[in-house]
Amino acid sequence: ERWAKALMYFGVEPEVYYGEKEKVMKVYPFSDFNFVKAKKGEYNKKKMAQVVLELCKFEVINDTYNVECKDITGQTMQGIFHLNCKDKIKKKLKKGSVIVLKNVSVFTINQLTYYFIVVEQCIEKI
């Protein structure tokens, strides 16, 4: 059910997700913006226009919210929500939440670990 609302938000029938995940991967934004492509370096110089993520882990460290999210492909990536998101996400964001983000920056410190960073303007739908 977590993914059902996100799929309907983009005009995809939830039954498709449960039956044939490959079909969902052909629908925008799932086809263009996912962690498989991010880990290949496709977003090193541009932002992910829209991405749908499920929150796996969530912890507050100093002034940031550190998260681990999974996309529809099942790939996971670490992320950082800036402090300016606090009021918007504090009550809504919990483990298992599915969120829609826009204009997300992806970066890497080494070629094995990729991160995404989110500021308030990136949150489209929780």
Is pLDDT of 16 > 70?
A: no
Tell me: pLDDT of 56 over 90: yes
Q: Is CATH 2.40.50.140 the classification given to domain 2-125?
A: yes
6's enclosing H/E stretch is helix 2-9
The pLDDT value recorded for residue 69 is 92
Q: Domain coordinates of the chain in residue numbers?
A: 2-125
- Secondary structure class of 54 (helix, strand, coil): strand
pLDDT in tens, 91-118: 777 888 898 999 998 888 777 778 788 8
β-pairing verdict for 113-118 and 76-81 = parallel
